[in-house]
Chain A
Amino acid sequence: MFARGIKRKCFDGEEDIEGTLAGFKSVPSYNLQRQSLLDMSLVKLQLCHMLVEPNLCRSVLIANTVRQIQEEMTQDGTWQVINAQNTGQASLDRLVSSDILCRSTKEQNEGKLVPSYSGFSKDFENTPSQDIISDLSTVTSVQAPRNPQSNNVWEMENSQENRGNFQKSLDQIFETLENKNPNSVEDLFSDVDNSYYDLDTVLTGMMNNTKMGHCDVLESFSSQTTTNSNSNCKSDINELDHIVEILVES
Chain B
Amino acid sequence: MPEGDTGWKRAFEADIISTVEFNYSGDLLATGDKGGRVVIFQKEQENKSRLHSRGEYNVYSTFQSHEPEFDYLKSLEIEEKINKIRWLPQQNAAHFLLSTNDKTIKLWKISERDKRAEGYNLKDEDGRLRDPFRITALRVPILKPMDLMVEASPRRIFANAHTYHINSISVNSDHETYLSADDLRINLWHLEITDRSFNIVDIKPVNMEELTEVITAAEFHPHQCNVFVYSSSKGTIRLCDMRSSALCDRHSKFFEEPEDPSSRSFFSEIISSISDVKFSHSGRYMMTRDYLSVKVWDLNMETRPVETYQVHEYLRSKLCSLYENDCIFDKFECCWSGSDSALMTGSYNNFFRMFDRSMRRDVTLEASRESSKPRAILKPRKVCTGGKRKKDEISVDSLDFNKKILHTAWHPLDNIIAVAATNNLYIFQDKAN
Contact = CB atoms under 8 A, between A and B. Distances in A.
Given A52-B79, A56-B183, A204 B74 contact: yes
Given A1-B321, A57-B273, A7 B265 contact: yes
Given A6-B320, A57-B273, A68-B266, A204 B73 contact: no
Interface in A227-244: 231, 234-235, 238-239, 242-243
Contacts of B214: 56-57, 60
A231 B157 contact: yes
Interface residues of A, number: 51
Contacts, number: 116
A205 to B, nearest CB: 6
Interface in A10-52: 33-34, 37, 40, 44, 51-52
Interface stretch (A148-156, A179-187, A195-203): A195-203
A203 to B, nearest CB: 7
Contacts of A60: 211-214, 233
B159 interface: yes
Chain B, interface residues (CB within 8 Å), range: 35 or more
Interface in B302-338: 316-321, 323-324, 326, 329
A130 to B, nearest CB: 14
Contact of A4 (B75, B79, B317, B326): B317
Contact of A64 (B71, B78, B212, B329): B212
B208 A55 contact: no
Nearest to B69: A235
B207 to A, nearest CB: 7
B72 interface: yes
B270 A65 contact: yes
Nearest to A123: B209
Interface in B62-87: 71-79
B266 A198 contact: no
Chain A interface, DSSP helix/strand/loop, else mixed: helix
Interface centre among A68, A200, A208, A231 (most CB of B within 10 A): A200
A124 to B, nearest CB: 11
Contacts of B264: 7
Interface stretch (A82-90, A106-114, A158-166, A217-225): A217-225
B75 A199 contact: no
Interface string A129-170: 000000000000000000000000000000000000000000
B72 A61 contact: no
Contact of A6 (B184, B265, B329): B265
B381 to A, nearest CB: 24
Contacts of B266: 6, 34, 37, 65, 68-69
A198 B76 contact: no
B160 interface: yes
B428 to A, nearest CB: 31
Nearest to A121: B209
A177 interface: no
B113 to A, nearest CB: 26
B233 A53 contact: no
A40 B318 CA distance: 16
A67 to B, nearest CB: 8
A64 B269 contact: yes
Given A60-B233, A195-B207, A207 B165 contact: no
Contact of B269 (A5, A61, A220): A61
Given A51-B76, A57-B214, A204 B157 contact: no
B209 A199 contact: yes
Nearest to B161: A238
Contacts of B319: 5
A239 B212 contact: no
A221 B72 contact: yes
Nearest to B317: A4
A206 interface: yes
A137 to B, nearest CB: 20
A9 interface: no
A95 to B, nearest CB: 14
Contacts of A53: 71, 74, 76-78, 102, 165
B164 interface: yes
Contacts of A203: 208, 211
A194 to B, nearest CB: 10
Contacts of B323: 37, 40
Contacts of A33: 320
A207 B75 contact: yes
A217 B329 contact: no
B347 interface: no
Among the interface residues B209, B210, B263, B269, which one has the most CB atoms of the partner chain A within 10 A?
A: B209
Given A37-B320, A64-B212, A205 B76 contact: yes
B170 interface: no
B77 A52 contact: yes
A188 interface: no
Nearest to B163: A204
22 contacts: A1-B320, A5-B319, A7-B265, A52-B77, A56-B214, A57-B183, A58-B326, A58-B329, A60-B211, A61-B273, A61-B329, A63-B212, A68-B266, A122-B209, A123-B210, A195-B207, A199-B208, A200-B208, A204-B164, A207-B76, A231-B159, A234-B160
Interface of B: 71-79, 102, 157, 159-160, 163-165, 183-184, 206-214, 216, 233, 263-267, 269-270, 273, 316-321, 323-324, 326, 329
* 4 A-B pairs closest in CB distance: A200-B208, A199-B208, A199-B209, A56-B183
